[in-house]
Amino acid sequence: MKRDGKKIIFEKESDLPPNAMSLGTTEFNETGSWRNERPVVDKAKCISCGICWKYCPDMSIKEDSEGKAEIDYVFCKGCGICAAECPVKAITMIEEEK
């Protein structure tokens, strides 16, 4: 068995756990590529309320050094919940350039 970053590469039968047991996490799967629109945080407006973090189904809201919301674009699928729920409209959805 080889690992390529977070990817697991089986080469032959003996690499596999017989009971189909997991050996890694879904972090290999960079779901940011699913996005049609990206959320952009206006840090000046952000009041650090944590609502966007709380409601993110993809754990893609982080806290920056000043306690403001920061998007993890590696995994953010662009659902737009954060922008819709932000009480001060600090997050806007912008079309992805593909």
Nearest distance from C-beta of residue 18 to other proteins, angstroms:
5
Nearest distance from C-beta of residue 97 to other proteins, angstroms:
19
Contact of 80 with 39, CB cutoff 8 Å:
yes
Nearest distance from C-beta of residue 4 to other proteins, angstroms:
13
Nearer to other proteins, 16 or 40 (CB): 16
Among candidates 81, 88, 37, which has minimal Cα distance to 61? 81
Nearer to other proteins, 13 or 97 (CB): 13
Residue type, 83: A
- Say how far apart CA 74 and CA 72 lie, in whole Å: 5
Residue 18's Cα: distance from chain center in Å? 31
Q: What residues make contact with other proteins under the rule CB under 8 A?
A: 8, 10, 12-13, 16-31, 34, 48-50, 53-60, 63, 67-69, 72, 74-75, 77-81, 83-85, 93
* Token reading at 22: 């997991």
